[in-house]
């Protein structure tokens, strides 16, 4: 169930759902998603579905990862990406194939520790991980070209918007029971928001969990 043929079937499904960036599709085919879930769920890793990773969190469905990456690549130059809610580390490693550096924040410490172990085993060198509060971002390494949220705040966090580069944008699912994926930029005329599509993410929660 983890063969290249199985991965290729996933890529075919992603194409059918509208993912058009061939570089993203190639990366999705190459990265071993089964390593980012518990062994008991490895046989489901290449289904286009979200999977539990513990602590009431999920590994996002492949379409969501591919779509968020595709949108991030619409930035002219991906130097630094800030990822909020890195979870298993899967979205982080996909982004790392395109960005100079990925700065990944996770509030749940055991998930972060597991993600670090996976990234070390896969010898990924351009991801920095932080046990931190996603609402606060990572000001030390700002500004960021793209900030990507893998959890849904009810409103766009001001601290994250402040950490964008002048031409950067924030991708975030926004809302409560009804969410929309929003792309937001700070312009000379103020905050510009664009609704991309409906979304369904776990809520973004402040604070740390050990």
DSSP letter string over 138-152?
-GGG--EEEEEESSB
pLDDT of residue 1: 53
| Domain boundaries of the chain, sorted by first residue | 64-199
pLDDT in tens, 53-69: 999 899 999 999 999 99
Confidence band, pLDDT 50/70/90 cuts, at residue 77: confident
pLDDT band at 93 (very low <50, low <70, confident <90, very high): very high
CA 127 and chain centroid, separation: 13
Tokens representing 45 are 């890793």
Q: How far apart are CA 206 and CA 162, in angstroms?
A: 18
Q: Report the catalytic residues.
A: 60
- Residue in 169, 116, 175, 107 with CA at minimum distance from that of residue 135: 107
pLDDT of residue 109: 97
**Gap between the Cα atoms of 67 and 82, Å rounded:** 16
Spatial distance between the Cα atoms of 146 and 133, rounded to a whole number of angstroms: 18
Report the run of H or E that residue 52 belongs to, with start and end.
strand 51-54
Specify the CATH number for 64-199; select among 3.40.50.150, 3.30.70.3000, 3.40.50.620, 3.30.70.890: 3.40.50.150
What does R_g of the chain's alpha carbons equal in angstroms? 16
pTM higher than 0.75, yes or no? yes
In which region does residue 47 sit, left (phi positive, over 0), alpha (psi from -120 to 50) or beta (all else)?
beta
């Amino acid at each position: 169930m983890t063969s290249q043929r199985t991965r290729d079937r996933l890529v075919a499904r992603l194409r059918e759902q509208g993912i058009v960036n061939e570089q993203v599709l190639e990366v999705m085919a190459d990265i071993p998603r089964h390593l980012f879930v518990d062994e008991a769920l490895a046989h489901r890793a290449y289904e286009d579905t979200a999977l539990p990773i513990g602590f009431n969190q999920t590994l996002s469905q492949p379409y969501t990862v591919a779509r968020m990456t595709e949108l991030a690549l619409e930035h002219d130059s991906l130097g630094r990406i800030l990822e909020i809610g890195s979870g298993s580390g899967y979205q982080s490693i996909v982004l790392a194939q395109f960005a100079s550096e990925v700065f990944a924040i996770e509030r749940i410490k055991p998930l972060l520790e597991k993600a670090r172990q996976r990234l070390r085993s896969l010898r990924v060198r351009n991801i920095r991980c932080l046990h931190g509060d996603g609402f606060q971002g990572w000001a030390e390494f700002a500004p960021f070209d793209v900030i990507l949220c893998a959890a849904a705040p009810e409103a766009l966090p001001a601290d994250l918007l402040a950490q964008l580069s002048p031409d950067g944008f924030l991708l975030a699912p926004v809302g409560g029971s009804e969410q929309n994926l929003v792309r937001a930029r700070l312009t000379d005329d103020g905050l510009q928001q664009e609704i991309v599509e409906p979304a369904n993410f776990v809520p973004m929660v402040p604070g740390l969990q050990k």
